[in-house]
Structure 1
Amino acid sequence: MTTTTLSLTCPDDYSLETLCLTHGWRQLRPFHWEEDAGFLRYVLHTGARSVDLLISQAGDTLAVEVTGDSPLAEEERAALKTALTTMLALDRETATIKRLAHKTSEAHATLVAQGAGRLLTAPTAWENAAKTLLTTNCSWVLTRKMAEALCSTAFTEPAPSGRCPFPAPAEVNRFSAEELKTLAPVGYRSVYLKALAHCFVANPGLETLLSGGRLSHGEAGAQISKFKGFGEYARIHLMTLLGFYGEIPVDSVVRGYMKAVHGVTDIPPFLDAQYGDWGANRWWKFKMESMLLGKNFP
């Protein structure tokens, strides 16, 4: 077993803790956030094998301890850097969000100075899409159980820790929808998960298309709407994870928040009135509001 430590330079106003606490992806395997220590764990398949990642921040530097059964090859180092840049939002532009925050209030400005404006995501559009599907029509507890079941030796080889990465599309696609039901508590979603995996396998360029940042808001939405099982909530949720912040995904949790905080049940027009002045970043105005009120949620 070999551990290699990689060092990555943080952008300005970067906080690993804020990144992880902004939403619930840190709670879905193979992520694991160690709150007391301020460490983020993840299991990644490099293209050759599964490795354990332990990520921490000291000042303007991120240290990434990579543990595998042998030293990293150069190709693996390149794959790791690409994955880490995406999932840790190291290349995410936040200048517009900072400007809007400073115009809104001192509290918003302080929040972005503490790292708000970047979002922890999975390193692939596939994993973000599959996990989005797992959030539909169920409790967060069940979402976590489904993600944990998919990160198992039934689908992938474990890393040295014994933990498994999230399975690649091909590793899910080799099972039927009925078989998926027996391997993970995905219920009716098995049909949609199978179809999603097949879509990524049958269209090898789809991953790059969705994660490459070349699609417009409308183009991304049109592509995602083709996925079986993706209604309006799932479409907007996945688009948010891909960096499109102009819409707010409304589920039962958001409806409950709007009623409790704002006394609102007619939500669509209220979203425009309350958050519309942030335009293509209105999701961030909504998210920062919930953070400032101490009512943030997954």
Structure 2
Amino acid sequence: MGAQAAAEIRAGGRFGRLPPGADLPRVGTLRLGPLPPGFRLAAVALSHAASGLGPSCFDLDRGEWHRVLVTPQAGPLAITVRESAAPGGAGPPLIVSWGRATGGDADREAIRRQVRHALALDEDLADLYATLAGEPDLAWVAAGGHGRLLRSPSVWEDLVRALAATNAALTRTRSMLDALVELFGARGPAGERAFPDAAAVARAVADRGPQFLRDRAGWGYRAGSLAILAQRIDAGTLDVERWWDRGPRGPSDDEVATEIRALPGFGPVSADGLLGLLGRPRGLALDAWAKARVGELAGLPGPAGEREVRARYARFGRWAGTVCRLEITRGWTGR
């Protein structure tokens, strides 16, 4: 999937499909700021392929991120996020706007909270940047505001995205997620469709069986894993949102990784990637594309082996996976 994402990003234009309602006249606006030092919207929106997967899109030419979010009163709204001034520093805020409904106070607060979460605005990257301070070849990381990963509003959605991306090309992943949004996502008056919650997918499984996900949503062999995930979350037997608790009483990184790998359809690569989305140092996530890219960076005649990759990034300690990801996706944002 990485190679296809890189090719689409290099081509410019829109990465992903513009959600319905995103082109309506703006009737609601809010500002988010101040931003972390060095923050750049593109660096987060293009940190991996999530911004190009429905219901999300990043316009590379305009520097705008579009996303459908669920609000408590207005329902699904297609929001647009852009930087209000030249990026960099702690001053320029982000402008979030949307059409169709101005939204009440609860809607605006929901939008504010979800956008801050998705763009990892509250993540402290000081330790990462300190780790790289003695690495001149990696000075571009802090200078370009890199290190944050674009996240979904819920851990459930990030899990579904990871499942859809396993052993699948970008076009295939996109079609599976688009089908879920179209079949089960809450719909707004302008045609906006939000990403469905676990309850909506679990109801469909209860009514029509996992084969509905396989045949109508095109999930193939992944349908069973998706059905189990939705049913367990909906029933309350699996609390994935608790993985956000990084306090002394919350689960450790190793415990979260073990729980993810225990889910049907998830393996070490998925667990490594998801740790980063949970605000924990990500693992190396060594899929075939990552190994090929590290091989290119290291000047090897072919893909790097796992031992070679681990040796290359061992000096970065807990940030090894983050640095690996930053290196292999360098250039996606033009800096």
Unaligned ranges ≥5, structure 1? none
| Structure-2 separation of matches of 1:144 and 1:271 | 29
Q: How many angstroms does 1:247 deviate by?
A: 1.4
Residues 138 and 234 (structure 1), Cα distance of their counterparts in 2 relative to 1, 3 Å cut: same
Greater shift, 215-224 or 254-263, is seen at 254-263
| Structure-1 separation of matches of 2:144 and 2:237 | 38
What's the Cα RMSD here?
2.2
| Structure-1 separation of matches of 2:64 and 2:150 | 13
Deviations along 1:252-291, one digit per CA (max 9) or x if unpaired, are 2113223444326562322221112111111221123224
1:115 and 2:139 aligned: no
Name 1:144's counterpart in structure 2.
174
Residues 1-298 of structure 1 correspond to what in structure 2 (within 5 A)? 3-9=27-33, 10-48=35-73, 49-59=75-85, 60-68=92-100, 70-105=101-136, 107-152=137-182, 154-175=183-204, 176-203=209-236, 206-213=239-246, 214-262=250-298, 263=300, 267-292=305-330, 294=331
Query: Residue 273 of structure 2 contacts residue 282 of structure 2 at CA under 8 Å; is this kept in 1?
Result: no
Residues 207 and 78 (structure 1), Cα distance of their counterparts in 2 relative to 1, 3 Å cut: farther
Greater shift, 108-117 or 14-23, is seen at 108-117
| Structure-2 separation of matches of 1:295 and 1:259 | 18
Q: How many angstroms does 1:18 deviate by?
A: 1.1
Q: How many angstroms does 1:93 deviate by?
A: 0.7
Identity of aligned residues (%): 25
Q: How many angstroms does 1:212 deviate by?
A: 3.7
Q: How many angstroms does 1:12 deviate by?
A: 1.1
| Structure-2 separation of matches of 1:295 and 1:38 | 13
Residues 173 and 37 (structure 1), Cα distance of their counterparts in 2 relative to 1, 3 Å cut: same
Q: How many angstroms does 1:246 deviate by?
A: 4.4
Please report the TM-score for the alignment, with normalisation by the length of structure 1.
0.90
Q: How many angstroms does 1:160 deviate by?
A: 4.5
Q: How many angstroms does 1:158 deviate by?
A: 2.3
Aligned residues: 292
Unaligned ranges ≥5, structure 2? 1-23, 86-91
Q: How many angstroms does 1:82 deviate by?
A: 2.1
Query: Residue 244 of structure 1 contacts residue 280 of structure 1 at CA under 8 Å; is this kept in 2?
Result: no
Q: How many angstroms does 1:162 deviate by?
A: 1.8
Query: Residue 158 of structure 1 contacts residue 165 of structure 1 at CA under 8 Å; is this kept in 2?
Result: yes
| Structure-1 separation of matches of 2:113 and 2:216 | 30
Query: Residue 291 of structure 2 contacts residue 304 of structure 2 at CA under 8 Å; is this kept in 1?
Result: no
Residues 135 and 291 (structure 1), Cα distance of their counterparts in 2 relative to 1, 3 Å cut: closer
Q: How many angstroms does 1:29 deviate by?
A: 0.6
Query: Residue 151 of structure 1 contacts residue 165 of structure 1 at CA under 8 Å; is this kept in 2?
Result: yes
Alignment partner of 1:64: what SS? strand
Q: How many angstroms does 1:101 deviate by?
A: 2.3
Greater shift, 193-202 or 58-67, is seen at 58-67
Residues 114 and 260 (structure 1), Cα distance of their counterparts in 2 relative to 1, 3 Å cut: closer
Residues 215 and 84 (structure 1), Cα distance of their counterparts in 2 relative to 1, 3 Å cut: farther
Residues 20 and 13 (structure 1), Cα distance of their counterparts in 2 relative to 1, 3 Å cut: same
Residues 12 and 261 (structure 1), Cα distance of their counterparts in 2 relative to 1, 3 Å cut: closer
| Structure 1 residue ranges, 4+ long, deviating more than 4 angstroms after superposition | none
